[in-house]
Amino acid sequence: MLNLQLSRCKSGGAMSTSSIESLQIDQQTLLEKLQSLGPWMQGSLIRRYVRCGNPSCHCSQEGDPGHGPHWYLSRSRKGKTMTKKIPKHQVEQVQQQLQRYHVFQDIMHELMETNNRICELMLKEQQAAEGTAAKKRGSGQNSRRK
């Protein structure tokens, strides 16, 4: 799917400019980074402490943080916030997945910028080629004799 999106701007021009070729190598490198990234997840990991309400419990004492920490994954889906409890033994795994999501975002931003530069250079090349061809053909109008 990514290859399809990236190749949309490629039709219609020769790729003779070395800077375009260099950018395409960068583009391929970024795609490889995406493929090797591993599973990622969007959201936020939240740590909460709760009070049980029992007056004889330690959590009712002033300065006591309460029971916990309890971990929750919060994320937005279709405009609604969803929260899921995360067991303690999975917290580190979820943190790594959330960190990979930020790396994913950075790579995608670089990929979009690189792809935009490629398309811009291709347009400039095409415009330059069309300008050269138009000069060779002349204006296309016959000159009038007086």
Whether residue 106 lies inside any domain: the answer is yes
Q: What mean pLDDT is predicted for residues 64-73?
A: 94
Structural Rg of the chain based on CA atoms:
28
Nearest to 104 by CA among 31, 25, 9: 31
Whether residue 137 lies inside any domain: the answer is no
Whether residue 28 lies inside any domain: the answer is no
Whether residue 138 lies inside any domain: the answer is no
Q: What are the tens digits of pLDDT across the range 89-111?
A: 999 999 999 999 999 999 999 99
Whether residue 52 lies inside any domain: the answer is yes
How many CB atoms within 10 Å of residue 105?
A: 12
The domain total for the chain is: 1
| Boundaries of domain holding 88 | 42-122
Q: What are the tens digits of pLDDT across the range 1-41?
A: 444 344 444 444 444 456 989 999 999 999 999 999 999 99
Whether residue 51 lies inside any domain: the answer is yes
Alpha-carbon torsion, ordered 124, 126, 131, 133, to 10 deg: 160
